[in-house]
Chains A and B, each alone.
Chain A
């Protein structure tokens, strides 16, 4: 069995959980501990990737360049990675400067049915002699046949692998085994899985992905990430150790990173709260959570209703501006209903 590669997204997905306010010192401290731990790559930056610091999804405390340069200084054995979602970041403004600042690996993410948008970016990364991985986000919204078609496009552009992202934490066990099994039967390149924990399935789903043929697991220390968080890497590593699945990762180093750095980075412990459960059920991007809560408070409506409506509208990652529109509509509807029932009771 091919040894697994672990993609450590703690400093990227975790950025969502602290509204993109991770400090340079935290980046330094984390990278120093995990360098040489055996994880394949440490991915840093804004939760939505390079060039995503914005009023739409949240402003970063530090620029991409500052974060990358800081991590680069500490990572001597372990590769440094970044995420790019075309549409947010561009080659000229964001990707080229990131490669120049020392990024080795770039995950190029896009909504799972839109892989052709990543062609110019994947080809550019490969042309610069760096590693490119395709990421198909919100995979629960497409069939396994469609996902294969999209993954094959990324393969043809030169991606070393394709990572299936369960951005909404909406997976059932069958979905994971069906999709990963289908891809691993039909693709030449590596297949990865990035889980979210909305339905408390992130570690389980990642294990299922491995058993179905995935060779890359993308997760975070302490599960630190958007919404209910991610696949907790150190828990998965311990589980694999019990199952005698060999990895190259030093479990103790990851446990140290969890206790000494990530615990302090978190504003609150990573938990599966009711709103996250509804977001997983509705199949809505985990990163929406803080925006939905704020809109619910401001408009005096239930955050769960917003999530269900966003799910009904099949909103994708990056459409945070729709949250406010939906919240206002629901608030208007609520006032109308109250007026009608008041009239009736008169």
Chain B
């Protein structure tokens, strides 16, 4: 195993909350190292931090990689859904393995707890949305126990501070993509996603609720299944916890989860960053492992 100590080079485009949180997680990885951290905002705190960490940075965003494609093999896109629509064809032309953290939905959706194996062969992998990562596995678990479920709804509330300008400009893409992920992964015929931003100080932790319309739920069976899902997600997002339910009330099955962040870039309340960046790193590591074998 001569390659054990060699890490796979990755580029991160987008120096906002998600990009910067991702950088911390990449730098901790035994399999990955960030060779270019590129943004556009000259005032970006992320770029400043990256520089201080000794990481190669650029203000030219995607062009930095276009100019110098051999810099990295994997590219994480943490810009915005609209920017990724432009970046995706460029990265495809350069032959990069793309992991997209925007809700653009260009690539194949991936939720590591559910389908990491299928994602390794795709050139462009969509990490859905933070809400999708937190709720799609629960939705699937519910459908496995109760395939007759007619409707699933997911609510995500996050602290305002953890939602950067990209997320705010893309709120529609966020809800649409989250809904599509619920439909895709659970197979439920009808779904809805809602997102709420809360500016309270001290900041609220990322909180997600899954509602399902079921006639007569088997609570013990659902509880067991949902605990399994919780453990599976905790393997890559240690702060993920089911905090309420499953309970049945007024014809609704209710399950709520909370995500405590690792406190890498933003404090612990911003579990919404952690759940998507941790999932993205998990996918990149799996890819690196498969290439290094």
A residues within 8 Å of B by Cβ? 51, 54-56, 86-88, 90-93, 111, 113-114, 116-117, 119-121, 141, 294, 298, 313-319, 321-322, 324-325, 328
Contact check, B196 vs A319: say whether CB atoms are below 8 A apart.
yes
Q: Is the CB of A111 within 8 A of B153?
A: no
Assess whether B244 is in contact with A56, with CB atoms less than 8 Å apart.
no
State the CA gap A294–B199 with chains docked (Å): 27
For the complex, is B162 an interface residue (Cβ under 8 Å from A)? Answer: no
B266 contacts A by Cβ under 8 Å: no
- The closest CB in chain A to the CB of B244 belongs to A325
Q: Point out the residues of chain A lying under 8 angstroms from B249, CB to CB.
A: 298, 324
B192 surroundings in chain A (CB, below 8 A)? 51, 54
B198 in contact with A319 (CB, 8 Å): yes
Query: How far does the alpha carbon of A314 sit from the alpha carbon of B213 in the complex, in Å?
Result: 29
**Contact: B200 with A56, CB < 8 Å?**
no
Q: List CB contacts (< 8 Å) of B247-281 with chain A.
A: 247, 249-250, 252, 254, 256
* Chain B residues, CB < 8 A from A92: 172, 176
Partner of B194, one of A88, A111, A313, A324: A88
Among B151, B155, B176, B243, max chain A CB count under 10 A is at: B155
- Subset of 13 A-B contacts with CB under 8 Å: A51-B192, A56-B211, A87-B194, A88-B194, A113-B199, A114-B160, A114-B197, A316-B197, A316-B199, A321-B256, A324-B244, A324-B247, A324-B254
Chain A residues with CB below 8 A from B195, complex form: 87
Shortest C-beta distance, A157 to chain B (Å), equals: 12
Segment touching A, from B20-28, B43-51, B93-101, B163-171: B163-171
- Chain B residue, CB-CB nearest to A320: B155
Q: Which residues from chain A contact B151 at a C-beta distance below 8 Å?
A: 55
A55-B211, A56-B155, A56-B209 given; A316·B196 CB < 8 A:
yes
Q: Assuming the A-B contacts A111-B198, A113-B160, are A90 and B168 also in contact, with contact meaning beta carbons closer than 8 angstroms in the complex?
A: no
Residues of B within 8 A of A (CB): 151, 153, 155, 157, 160, 165, 168-169, 171-172, 175-176, 192, 194-201, 204, 207, 209, 211, 213, 243-244, 247, 249-250, 252, 254, 256
Residue of A nearest to B212 (CB): A55
In the bound complex, do residue B172 and residue A86 qualify as a contact, i.e. CB atoms below 8 Å apart? Answer: yes
Closest Cβ of chain A to B135, distance in Å, is 12
Chain A neighbourhood of B250, CB < 8 A: 294
Given A55-B211, A56-B209, A93-B176: A87 touches B171 (CB 8 Å cut-off):
yes
Name the distance in Å between A9's Cβ and chain B's nearest Cβ: 21
Beyond the given pairs A51-B192, A93-B176, A111-B197, 12 more chain A to chain B contacts, judged by CB atoms under 8 angstroms and listed by A's residue number, are A87-B197, A90-B175, A114-B197, A116-B165, A117-B168, A120-B171, A314-B201, A316-B196, A321-B207, A321-B209, A321-B256, A324-B256
> What residues of chain A lie closer than 8 Å to B196, measured between beta carbons?
87, 111, 316-319
Interface pair B256/A325, CB less than 8 Å apart: yes
Min CB distance, B78 to chain A, in Å? 19
Bound form: Cα–Cα A319–B198 in Å? 9
| CB-defined contacts of A314 to chain B, threshold 8 Å | 198, 200-201, 204
Q: Are B169 and A116 in contact (CB under 8 A)?
A: yes
Query: In the complex, what distance in Å separates the CA atom of A322 from the CA atom of B196?
Result: 12
Contact B153 A117 (CB under 8 A): no
Looking at the assembled complex, report how far the CB atom of B227 sits from the nearest CB atom of chain A, in whole angstroms.
18
**Nearest chain B residue, comparing its CB with the CB of A53:** B192
Look across to chain B and name the residue whose beta carbon is closest to the beta carbon of A112: B199
Min CB gap B154→A, angstroms = 9
CA separation between A92 and B76, bound complex, in Å?
Answer: 27
**With A54-B192, A86-B172 given, is the CB distance from A321 to B198 under 8 Å?**
no
Residue of B nearest to A48 (CB): B194
B199 pairs with A111, CB closer than 8 A: yes
CA of A53 to CA of B278, assembled, Å: 33
In contact, A90 and B153 (Cβ under 8 angstroms): no
CB-defined contacts of A121 to chain B, threshold 8 Å:
172
- Distance of A294 Cα from B254 Cα, bound (Å): 15
Cα distance A119–B168 when bound, in Å? 9
